[in-house]
């Protein structure tokens, strides 16, 4: 390797058939034994589905709209990422062991890889799902800037990998359906990114009701303002600019890139869209789960 060459990106490691970032896979045995507390709240998503957005919303609800309290630490410390493990940044599992309870916990794990204690403990869960086409586009740009992932290749190559589920955290289809099928077995609120974009205040109210917080229109309005894409994009405690550039290179693509619904139309060719639609129909057959690809 040349002295100034980029370090080689690690290949995916497969855990129970699910592709994982290598350093994340290395800590999964440790993660498996994690004991959740009944008062903890799990925020779960497939990557690039509004995780940071919803985490900031919930942290502001917990802190009763106190923006200063939400600015003391970056989001990945306020809402530790359960399976996160990258050299130079605190591991999610270590942050969670030290976190005062109850706490917020983030994960991208599919249902089958989530530690058993989550299913055995009466803790609440919020899942956020985003339409597959926008996720694919957003994930492609994220793969480029977040160097813990394998090289994404061309957009066409990445789209094929996405449809096959041959990417970090596995199949989008299996992920959203797996959590959808669990939603009535546990205290779970299943939200949609498109609904949040369409009417943030309505969805924030829904979250507050789920968390058994009293209705408060002024608080809802304040949270909606401070968690708008424009505000989040410039918030250094939410936009991941505090992560070393060797891990996330924002000069390639910002972590918070567009935050819109329907951006897939700017990336998919007609042929790609037709192929994707046919494959989507096959993979989503039989589920009651439906998405909007534009609002």
What pLDDT digit, counting tens, does each position of 244-267 carry? 556 656 665 545 555 678 999 999
Within a domain: 279: yes
Rg, C-alpha atoms of the chain? 18
pTM (2 d.p.): 0.91
Which residues are part of the catalytic machinery?
108
Q: Note whether residue 6 is domain-resident.
A: no
pLDDT above 90 (res 234): no
**Tens digit of each residue's pLDDT (9 = 90 or more) over 20-78:** 999 999 999 999 999 999 999 999 999 999 988 899 899 999 988 777 776 777 777 78
Distance, in Å, from the CA atom of 199 to the CA atom of 98, rounded to the nearest integer, reads: 36
Could you tell me if residue 7 is inside a domain?
no
Q: How many domains does the chain have?
A: 1
Residue 4 resides in a domain: no
CATH number at residue 189: 3.40.50.300
Q: Is residue 73 part of a domain?
A: yes
Query: 45: which residues sit within 8 A by CB, 6+ positions away?
Result: 51, 54, 108, 127, 128, 129, 130
Judge whether 129 lies within some domain. yes
Query: Within a domain: residue 100?
Result: yes
Give a yes or no: residue 294 inside a domain. Answer: no
Lowest mean pLDDT among 21-35, 78-92, 273-287: 78-92
Domain that holds residue 98: 13-284
């Amino acid at each position: 390797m040349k002295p100034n060459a980029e370090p080689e990106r690690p290949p995916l490691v497969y855990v129970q058939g699910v592709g994982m970032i290598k350093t994340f896979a290395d800590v999964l045995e440790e993660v498996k034994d994690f004991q959740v507390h009944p008062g903890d709240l799990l925020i779960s998503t497939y990557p690039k589905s509004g995780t940071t957005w919803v985490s900031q919303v919930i942290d502001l609800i917990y802190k009763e709209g106190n923006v200063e309290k939400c600015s003391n630490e970056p989001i990945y410390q306020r809402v530790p990422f359960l399976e996160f493990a990258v050299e130079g940044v605190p591991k999610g599992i270590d942050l969670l062991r030290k976190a005062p309870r109850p706490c917020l916990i983030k994960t991208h794990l599919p249902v089958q890889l989530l530690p058993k204690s989550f299913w055995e403990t009466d803790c609440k869960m919020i899942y956020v799902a985003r339409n597959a086409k926008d996720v694919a586009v957003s994930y492609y740009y994220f793969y480029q800037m977040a160097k813990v992932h394998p090289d994404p290749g061309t957009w066409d190559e990445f789209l094929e990998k996405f449809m096959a589920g041959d990417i970090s955290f596995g199949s989008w289809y299996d992920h959203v359906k797996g959590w959808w099928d669990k939603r009535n077995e546990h205290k779970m609120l299943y939200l949609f990114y498109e609904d949040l974009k369409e009417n943030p205040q309505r969805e924030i109210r829904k979250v507050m009701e789920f968390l058994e917080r009293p209705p408060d229109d002024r608080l809802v309005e304040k949270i909606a303002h401070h968690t708008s894409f424009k505000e989040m994009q410039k918030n250094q405690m939410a936009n991941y600019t505090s992560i070393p550039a060797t891990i996330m290179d924002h000069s390639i693509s910002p972590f918070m890139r567009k935050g819109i619904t329907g951006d897939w139309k700017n990336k998919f060719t007609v042929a790609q869209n037709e192929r994707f639609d046919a494959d989507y129909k096959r993979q989503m057959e039989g589920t009651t789960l439906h998405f909007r690809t534009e609002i």
